[in-house]
Amino acid sequence: MKKQSTTLNLTFAAMFLALAFVMPFLTGQIPQIGSMLCPMHIPVILCGYFCGAPWGFIIGAAAPLLRSFILGMPTLFPKAFAMAFELAVYGLMSGFLYRVLPKKKINIYVSLVLSMIAGRLVWGVVQFCCMGLDAAKFGFSAFWTGAVVNALPGIAFQIVIIPIIVMIFEKTKIINRSIK
């Protein structure tokens, strides 16, 4: 059973990495729309739910860096670099919280929102460090605008679509909270 679970996780993780790689093409390569809709976030968060925290962390860290190296988008520094930390936290936290919180539908939302908050906070810290710890270059206003205001459409879409996907796959027994 362990080998089957590992093979299934590897398969899902590869699929989520591929989705994270190609979903930004849906934004038409317009950076402003991509910043609003956050297309790489969805497959990474789902990877945490489906495959668990370690897989979510790995796919989250790898996706923006691979996309930057291969396609040049997002730019490697500071954007893809900061996104790698942010998405790694999304994958880690969504997988971890989904497994440890009581098995209630509301906790799918709780784990999602807490993961999104943690990832955005980490993104802000990394961006601040990348800007030389200079609040004039990246202060609270820049953080709030980049992490919340500009991303509101993507945040709303994620809060609607991700729990629905998780609940559907829970019903089909494809996703199981007890998989480590």
- Which among 100, 107, 19, 33 is positioned nearest to 63, based on CA atoms? 19
pLDDT of residue 48: 97
- Which among 9, 15, 39 is positioned nearest to 25, based on CA atoms? 39
Peptide bond into 64 cis (omega under 30): no
CATH: 1.10.1760, 1.10.3210, 1.10.1060, 2.60.40. Which one for 2-22+39-171? 1.10.1760
pLDDT in tens, the chain (180 residues): 455 588 889 999 999 999 999 998 887 666 667 667 889 999 999 999 999 999 999 999 999 999 999 999 888 999 899 999 999 999 999 999 999 999 999 999 999 999 999 999 999 999 999 988 877 788 888 888 888 888 899 999 999 999 999 999 998 877 765 454
Domains in the chain: boundaries: 2-22+39-171
Q: What contacts 24+ positions apart, CB below 8 Å, involve 73-76? A: 73/24, 73/29, 73/31, 74/31
Measured from the Cβ of residue 116, the count of other Cβ atoms closer than 10 Å reads 25
The two structure tokens encoding residue 153: 């459409």
- How would DSSP label each residue in 78-129? IIIHHHHHHHHHHHHHHHHHHHHS-S-HHHHHHHHHHHHHHHHHHHHHHHHH
- Which among 92, 77, 83 is positioned nearest to 63, based on CA atoms? 83
- The Cα 172–Cα 14 span in angstroms is 21
SS3 150: coil
